[in-house]
Structure 1
Amino acid sequence: MSESADKPKKRKPSPADIVGWRELVSLPELGLDGIPAKIDTGARTSSLHAEVIEDFERDGERYVRFCVDWGGERHTCEAIHVDIRGITSSNGETQRRYVIKTPLTIGSFTFRAEISLADRSDMKFPMLIGRSSLRRRFVVDSGHSWLQTPGMEPVKGHKP
């Protein structure tokens, strides 16, 4: 057997595997579509701008009801929450946040992702996609935008 047969084959990422530094994403089980998201490999956990309204129990499961605002529209959502965790933000402050697990769609890929609910009102993007959601799924091209966003022309260049 040749030496090369023993090594795992590396494959070059296809264009379908590459995301830009910003994309429009969807959370289909929550009825949220076209969410502007920043792709951030420096963040471990994905986060969604949300105002938590209520923590409650239904059929023996813990749920959280929350509101998401963007584009002048308010969306009320409910999801099973999997945890309340201490999440360290980019400024080094640790906050206790609800974490939900729900399908996330980026381009033509849909997969279950853990998402923390956070106050992102001071941020440009209502959603941040962290490296746990990207791992083993996507390669990030930080020099481009909208590579996985149908209908958006891919943009090359630096962040505004």
Structure 2
Amino acid sequence: MAASRPEPAIVGWRELVGLPDLVSARIPAKIDTGARTSSLHATEIERFDRDGQRWVRFLLDLGEGRSEPVTCEVPRADRRIITSSNGDGQTRFIIKTALTLGSHNFRAEFSLADRSDMKFPILIGRTALRRRFLVEPSRSYLQSPLHERKLLKSRG
């Protein structure tokens, strides 16, 4: 008899997520089923080689006044054309890193992009959500601990 797949968890249209390989803080993220690829707010992005592998270095911005940007270095960065919501194609670096959403920990791909004109520093796309989560678009922070939500509200 085949093992059954666990029921997907319910997430709101926004959640607090962790990127434990990059930073210890939880970061506000928009859940977006219209986007295929997840995206991180990164600036000063540069590719370099280390020990024969392609790496990328960037500043990860956690969003409005949360802290100073964090310098991150990640191995095996690829480049891919990402089509934005307005239909324009843009070549971006793609990294794969650990993502924590609620009690779920898994690796996900992120494109690195300047999201300074966006409200959320992270966008979680449908590829990361697939088979793990269902989205309740009228709710927020369903997988985010109450004490972290209160801390986020206190910052404005």
TM interval, short-chain normalised: 0.7 to 0.9
> Structure 2: which 5+ residue stretches go unaligned?
151-156
The list of structure 1 runs, each at least 4 consecutive aligned residues, that deviate by more than 4 angstroms after superposition, is: 8-11
Note the C-alpha offset of 1:68. 1.6
Alignment check: 8 A CA contact 2:56 2:77 kept: no
Aligned partners of 2:109 and 2:44: how far apart in 1?
16
Q: Could you say which residue in structure 1 is the equivalent of 2:54? A: 62
Q: Where does 1:18-57 land on structure 2 (aligned, <5 Å)?
A: 18-57=10-49
Q: 1:147 aligns with which of 139, 142, 147?
A: 142
Q: Could you say which residue in structure 1 is the equivalent of 2:154? A: none
The answer to which structure, 1 or 2, has the higher relative contact order (CA under 8 A, 6+ apart) is: 2
Residues 29 and 91 of structure 1, relative CA distance in 2, 3 Å threshold: same
Alignment check: 8 A CA contact 1:87 1:96 kept: yes
1:88 is aligned to 2:80: no
Alignment check: 8 A CA contact 2:82 2:89 kept: yes
* Alignment-mate amino acid for residue 60 of structure 1: G
Which is higher, the Rg of structure 1 or of structure 2? 1
TM-score, normalised by the number of residues in structure 1: 0.83
Q: Where does 1:116-127 land on structure 2 (aligned, <5 Å)?
A: 116-127=111-122
1:78 is aligned to 2:73: yes
* Alignment-mate amino acid for residue 94 of structure 1: G
Q: Could you say which residue in structure 1 is the equivalent of 2:100? A: 105
1:133 aligned counterpart, secondary structure: helix
> Structure 1: which 5+ residue stretches go unaligned?
154-160
Residues 9 and 61 of structure 1, relative CA distance in 2, 3 Å threshold: closer
Q: What whole-Å deviation, never above 9, does each CA across 1:40-97 have from its counterpart, x for those lacking one? A: 0000000001014321111221110000222242111111244100001111111100
Aligned partners of 1:82 and 1:76: how far apart in 2?
15
Matched residues, percent identical?
A: 61
Aligned partners of 2:82 and 2:127: how far apart in 1?
14
TM-score, normalised by the number of residues in structure 2: 0.85
2:118 aligned counterpart, secondary structure: coil
